[in-house]
């Protein structure tokens, strides 16, 4: 009953010309949005090209980040209000690269989640542990803590509609995928955390993605798991053929 959601996260890898070419190459072979939601998260500078070329297709558009204020003196930031005006659907927040390189805190991520909802967008909230945390057997507590902090003050209705992406940091861009069982294990913790904070109905509705070296070769096995409703895909989302195999994983 949860619609699978496969989102490419391009990170800082494409320009507007490449964006336009990519969308032209995939737009006619995407599944119906009721069957699988196909999303691309692109850098802010590529969003106009992505939106323009995706018009009338089944491709949904995400920003890779935004600020938690709508406007003001915040040099270099991206307004969630303007993202909405442009026609963006989702905003990725709390990616481990933003937490690590740009020092984003749980509190920032929570403020962003509120700002995203205020503007009628939907967040894809990332969480995930480092190798050190996993080896110390603390991955479950860590992820539960991140999810709890990110959702603070959101309503059950809001949480039912958002997406949580579990991305173990040690599996990102390393070629080391968490095994389907390891991924399922923590995605189940994410759902249990939502049930504990809200209730079973909200937990049944929230969609949970796994991210970390997802590719056409492992997407089916991951998507077969009970608590995995999608993927947040970096490297393998940059090539049209590979992206199409990912979003059409069930064919
Ligand atoms: O947001 C996507 C993740 O960071 C995964 O990246 P990757 O598929 O290149 O490992």
Average pLDDT, the chain: 97
What is the pLDDT, as a whole number, of residue 224? 98
| Residue 134 φ then ψ, to 5° | -65, -45
> For residue 15, what are the domain limits?
5-247
User: Which pLDDT belongs to residue 213?
Assistant: 94
Whether residue 168 has its Cβ less than 6 Å from ligand 1: no
| Ligand 1 contact, 108 CB (< 6 A) | no
The whole-number pLDDT of residue 175 equals 80
Task: Report which of 164, 153, 62 is spatially closest to residue 115, judged by C-alpha positions.
Answer: 153
Q: What is the CATH number of the domain that holds 230?
A: 3.20.20.70
For the CA atoms of 94, 242, 20, 65, what is the dihedral angle to 10 degrees? 0
Q: Is 170 annotated as a binding residue?
A: no
Query: Which residues, 6 or more positions from 127, have their beta carbon under 8 angstroms from its beta carbon?
Result: 94, 143, 146, 147, 150, 164, 165, 166, 167, 190
Q: Which is more confidently placed, 138 or 174?
A: 138
Q: Are 116 and 126 in contact (CB under 8 A)?
A: no
- Residue among 139, 224, 211 at smallest CA distance from 178: 211
Q: What is the ipTM of this complex?
A: 0.99
Distance CA 141, CA 129 (A): 10
Query: How many structural domains are present in the chain?
Result: 1
Query: For 156-199, how does the pLDDT look when each residue is reduced to its tens digit (9 = 90+)?
Result: 999 999 999 999 999 998 887 789 999 999 999 999 999 999 99
- Which residues, at least 6 apart from 96, have a Cβ–Cβ distance to it below 8 Å? 126, 128, 167, 169, 172
C-alpha 16: how far from chain center? 21
Residue pLDDT, tens place only, 201-237 = 999 999 999 999 999 999 999 999 999 999 999 999 9
**Pick from 127, 186, 124: nearest CA to 159:** 124
pLDDT, tens only, 33-71: 999 999 999 999 999 999 999 999 999 999 999 999 999
The token pair that represents 78 in the structure block: 């991206």
Catalytic pick among 64, 95, 97, 144? 95
The confidence score (pLDDT) of residue 174 equals 86
Using DSSP, state whether 126 is helix, strand or coil. strand
- Give strand ranges (E) for 5-137: 5-9, 37-42, 59-63, 90-93, 122-127
Beta bridge partners of 123: 91
| Residue 234 is labelled as binding a ligand | yes
Ligand 1 pocket mutation, candidates 65, 173, 217, criterion most atoms within 8 A of CB: 173
Q: How many CA atoms lie within 13 A of 8 on its CB side?
A: 31
Nearest atom, ligand 1, residue 165 CA: 1
Is 128 assigned to a binding site?
no
Using DSSP's 3-state secondary structure scheme, residue 232 falls into: strand
**37, 97, 167, 184: which is the annotated catalytic residue?**
167
pLDDT at position 173 is 85
* pLDDT above 90 coverage of the chain, percent: 97
Query: Is the pLDDT reported for residue 1 higher than 90?
Result: no
């Amino acid at each position: 009953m949860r619609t699978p959601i496969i989102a490419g996260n391009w990170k800082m890898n494409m320009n507007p010309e490449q964006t336009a070419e990519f969308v032209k190459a995939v737009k006619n072979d995407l599944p119906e949005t009721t069957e699988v939601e196909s999303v691309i998260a692109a850098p802010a500078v590529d969003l106009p090209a992505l939106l323009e070329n995706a018009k009338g297709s089944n491709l949904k558009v995400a920003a890779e980040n935004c600020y938690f204020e709508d406007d003001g003196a915040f040099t270099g930031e991206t307004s969630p209000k303007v993202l909405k005006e442009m026609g963006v659907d989702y905003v990725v927040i709390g990616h481990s690269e933003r937490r690590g390189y740009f020092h984003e805190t749980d509190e920032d991520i929570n403020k962003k989640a509120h700002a995203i909802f205020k503007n009628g967008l939907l967040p894809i909230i990332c969480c995930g542990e480092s190798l050190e945390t996993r080896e110390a057997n603390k991955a479950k507590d860590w992820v539960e803590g991140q999810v709890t902090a990110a959702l603070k003050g959101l309503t059950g209705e809001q949480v039912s509609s958002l997406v949580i992406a579990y991305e173990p940091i040690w599996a990102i861009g390393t070629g080391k995928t968490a095994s389907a069982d390891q991924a399922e294990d923590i995605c189940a913790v994410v759902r249990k955390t939502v049930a504990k904070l809200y209730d079973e109905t909200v937990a049944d509705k929230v969609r949970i993605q796994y991210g970390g070296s997802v590719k056409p070769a492992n997407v089916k096995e991951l998507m077969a798991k009970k608590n995995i409703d999608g993927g947040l895909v970096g490297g393998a989302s940059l090539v049209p053929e590979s992206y199409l195999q990912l979003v059409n994983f069930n064919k």
